[in-house]
Structure 1
Amino acid sequence: MSLQVFLNDRLVPKEEATVSVFDHGLLYGDGVFEGIRVYGGKVFLHPEHIERLFESARAIRLEIPMSPDEMTRAVEKTVAANNISDGYVRLVVTRGSGSLGLDIRRTSDPQVIIIADTITLYPPEIYEEGMPLVTASTIRNHPQALSPRIKSLNYLNNIMAKVEGSDAGTVEALMMNHKGEVAECTGDNIFIVKHGVLKTPPIDAGILDGITRRAVLRLAREAEIPSEEVTLTRHDLYVADECFLTGSAAEVVPVISLDGRPIGDGKPGRTTNRLLEAFRDLTRK
């Protein structure tokens, strides 16, 4: 049976899931989205994702034509219709059709699109052996230009940094902020461990307030691992004992080098593996 996509108020075969070429989501990247994991048929950290979606929409003055409860039910309906046990949901809300201009007052009919499918972002060996990173020259958006806390459809900033990583032979790339501090990677938040203390850039470093990032910080507190949200530089990463990334699609991924410099002993560290296992346990609850 064809994949069923939720479009506005009903499920349709993916071949029929279409939007207007005049939609501002297509023309200008004008909209918001969430990427959500599904484990054992259960939508993982669902309330947090729905809340962030509506906050992103509010920040760009986009009126979502559904309530949070209705959106929650629509996601669950789409997951069930596609028999997704372990998979991924892409939830998109566009501004809707408009003119060939920027005026949002000339748009109408925001589109709600929910896709539920399987996903494998990285091969198993990445989680066992770790991944290398390079630093991209493309910096994260300046917070006064477009807040990185808004999960918008305009991902060109991240894509161009991802291109740099791909050109260098890595699957991820580190992005700095406008002050030259560590921000995040193209699709994931970043953590280091130094002398037993878990450290990650604060929200005001110009990063996405990651749902998985929040979950890992909670897991660290529960495991009594000291943690700090603190400004980091590339030097801090170069001399770290461990490093890992977090994201809804990526989960928890060990990092073993940055810009050709081994991090720690060049292998996934003890704290990283401990938090990876704790996160996997959380997804099975």
Structure 2
Amino acid sequence: MSIQIYVDGKYYPKEEAKISVFDHGFLYGDGVFEGIRAYNGRVFKLKEHIDRLYNGARGIMINVPLTKEEMTEVVLETLRRNQLQDAYIRLVISRGAGDLGLDPKKCSKPTVVCIADKIVLYPEELYEKGMEIITAATRRNRPEGVNPQMKSLNYLNNIMAKLEANLAGAPEALLLNNEDYVAECTGDNIFIVKNGVLITPPPYVGILVGITRNAIIEAAERLGIKVEEKVFTRYEVFTADECFLSGTAAEAVPVVKVDGRPIADGKPGPITKQIIKEFKELIKTEGTEIYK
């Protein structure tokens, strides 16, 4: 059976789900989105994702045609119609159909899409043995331009860096900001461990403040691990005791080599393993129930 996709109040089989070619999300990347995970019949951190989606829409002056409660029900109903317990959900709000000019005033009504399906971002062996990443020459968007804290449909900055990773044969690429500080990867936040302290870049360096990132910070604090948000350079990554990435699709995955340099002994570290174990336990029980 084809998956059912929500488009502007109705559900369509995958093959019939369509938006206008004049939609400014398609023409200009004018919109926002969220990637959300469901585990064991529960949607993880659904409220936080919905809040971030609406904040992003407010930031680009899109008036979402649904309340947060209605949007929450859209997510849950999409999962129910597809009989999913474990899934990746994509919520999209675009400016809607307009003309071939870029003026947002020409778009009369936003488009809302919800897709629920499966996703596998990295091979399982990378979660066990760790991954090797490179640093992209592409720099992170400046907050004064397209602020990375808005999860916009314009992901070309991330895609340019991902292309560099592909060309280098690496699964991910590290992005620096214009001041040479580490920001994040193309689709994941980054953490390093030094002398038992978990360190991650602060929002102002140009990152998307990840829902999984925040869940990991909370998990670390529960485990008694000290957490610091502070700027650092590639040198601190090269000389770190441990390194790992986090994201909704990726969850938490160890990094064992950056730009050809092994992180410590080149194996996932003990704090990384501890945090990943705690996160896996968390997603088993926390979340909004799909089937009540």
Name the structure 1 match of 2:5: 5
What is the CA distance between 1:100 and its match in structure 2? 1.0
Conservation of the 8 A alpha-carbon contact between 1:134 and 1:174: yes
1:181 paired to 2:181: yes
Distance 2:113 2:178 in 1: 33
Amino acid in structure 2 at the alignment position of 1:157: N
1:135-191 CA distances to partner (integer Å, 9 max, x unpaired)? 000011011011000000000000000000111010100000111100000000000
Runs of 4 or more above 2 Å deviation: none
- What does 1:183-222 align with in structure 2 at a 5 Å threshold? 183-222=183-222
Aligned to 2:120: 120
**Match runs of 1:107-186 below 5 Å:** 107-186=107-186
TM-score (norm 1): 0.99
Structure 1 stretches lacking a partner, 5+ long: none
Report what 2:284 is aligned to. Answer: 284
Shift of 1:264: 1.1
CA distance in 2, matches of 1:80, 1:120: 21
Q: Which secondary structure does the structure 2 equivalent of 1:246 belong to?
A: strand
The Cα of 1:124 is off from its aligned counterpart by: 1.1
Q: Which amino acid aligns with 2:193?
A: V
Task: State the number of aligned residues.
Answer: 285
How far the C-alpha of 1:85 sits from its partner, in A, is 1.4
**What is the CA distance between 1:42 and its match in structure 2?**
1.1
Residues in 2 aligned to 1:257 and 1:131: alpha-carbon distance in whole angstroms:
7
- Read off the aligned partner of 1:29 and give its amino acid letter: G
SS at match of 2:93: strand
SS in 1 for 2:71: helix
Gaps of 5+ in 2: 286-292
Comparing 22-31 and 100-109, the one that deviates more: 100-109
Q: CA deviation at 1:227?
A: 0.7
- Hey, what's the Cα distance between the residues in 2 that align with 1:267 and 1:252? 15
Q: Deviation string for 1:184-212 (max 9, x for gaps)?
A: 00000000000000000000111001000
State percent identity of aligned pairs. Answer: 55
**Separation in 1 of the partners of 2:284 and 2:58?**
32
> Is 1:41–1:79's contact at 8 Å kept on the other side of the alignment?
no
Q: Higher relative CO (CA 8 A, sep ≥ 6), structure 1 or 2? A: 2
1:128, distance to aligned residue in structure 2 (A): 0.2
1:37·1:88 contact (CA, 8 Å) conserved in 2?
A: yes
TM-score by length of 2: 0.97
